[in-house]
Structure 1
Amino acid sequence: MTPVHAVTLPDGHVVSDDRRRLDMDAVHAALSTAYWSAGRPRAVTERAWAHSLPVVVTAPDGAVAGFARLVTDRALRAHLADVFVRPASRGLGLGRAMVDYVLSHPALATVTHWTLTTRDAHGLYARLGFESAPADPDSMTMVRRPAGQPGT
């Protein structure tokens, strides 16, 4: 099991990969309203999250404020998925905090190829280094070469 990595934000929110903080009831309820996952059966959501690196943002009171999952081999490639910030927590920079968290996660230091799919958050991801893929405007990619690592 990979050690838990957590970052406390200045406002007291905590971004973590601690599965114990993950509330699958909240995850499934939120994703059932998202354009990319509406109608996804709970069993499929649970299986996807079981085989991914979870990212959970908790408020200072412990309530889940947002989450995302990373589909990754933890060596070379990672796909950011299911990024969601609960409506009451939007506008606090938590979406960016989650992306910053995964991009700086110590277990992902050698990941060079990052991808994601979005219909409505291109601006956020572009500010963090992602570029739209010419063949599919909903797909975004980033190639990042960690210092001292040759191309892959």
Structure 2
Amino acid sequence: MHDDFEFSTDPARLDLDRVHTWLADESYWAMGRSRAALEAAVAASRNYGVYDIASGAQLAYARVITDGVTFAWLCDVFVDAEARGRGIGVALIGQIMASLEPLGLRRIGLTTADAHGLYERFGFRPLDQPEQWMARMAPITTD
């Protein structure tokens, strides 16, 4: 990584207030996610953070859901708006892929609306047979 930031997989180090704000208020995919839902997701996932060495502030977050043997889902990738353009996203995904490599996973999936070029650097590509994939979505509620 760069000399001014560091990577960590320690979930105790996460700034959950900051991560919750990023996801619930600033992301397009997790808008409105509750703090309780975030905490449950963090507890059930492999978590990754990037931190400013000088201040200790968290600059980025991502998590991976996996069985550790055959499949993983990369999600909730977020780089703080003020930290973008410094290579943090590239470094984060590179570190995540390096941490998953020893598992020998057959497939790592993700969805993205705006960062295809980033993920292509690490071997992600559109599905060969998208018609074989399906998803079950929960109904949207207005509470």
Question: TM-score w.r.t. structure 1 length?
Answer: 0.78
2:109 to 110, 115, 127: 115
Please show how residues 14-93 of structure 1 align to structure 2 within 5 Å: 14-32=6-24, 33-60=26-53, 61-93=55-87
> Quick one: distance in 1 between partners of 2:41 and 2:32?
15
Unaligned runs of 5+ in 2: 134-143
Change (3 A) 1:111 1:124: same
Aligned partners of 1:74 and 1:107 also within 8 Å: no
SS at match of 1:58: strand
> Quick one: distance in 2 between partners of 1:135 and 1:85?
30
> Quick one: distance in 2 between partners of 1:81 and 1:108?
20
Write out per-residue CA displacement over residues 121-145 of structure 1, whole angstroms, 9 at most, x where no aligned residue: 0111112110012666xx9xxxxxx
Which one has a larger percent helix, Structure 1 or Structure 2?
Answer: 2
Per the TM alignment, residue 108 of structure 1 is displaced from its structure 2 partner at its CA by 4.5
> Quick one: distance in 2 between partners of 1:129 and 1:135?
17
RMSD: 1.8
Aligned residues with identical type, % of pairs: 39
Unaligned runs of 5+ in 1: 1-8, 140-152
| Bigger RCO (CA 8 Å, 6+ sep) | 2
SS at match of 1:84: strand
The residue identity in structure 1 corresponding to 2:37 is V
Aligned partners of 1:30 and 1:86 also within 8 Å: yes
The residue identity in structure 1 corresponding to 2:67 is D
SS at match of 1:67: strand
Indicate whether 1:13 and 2:8 are aligned.
Answer: no
SS at match of 1:117: coil
> Quick one: distance in 2 between partners of 1:54 and 1:44?
15
The residue identity in structure 2 corresponding to 1:62 is G
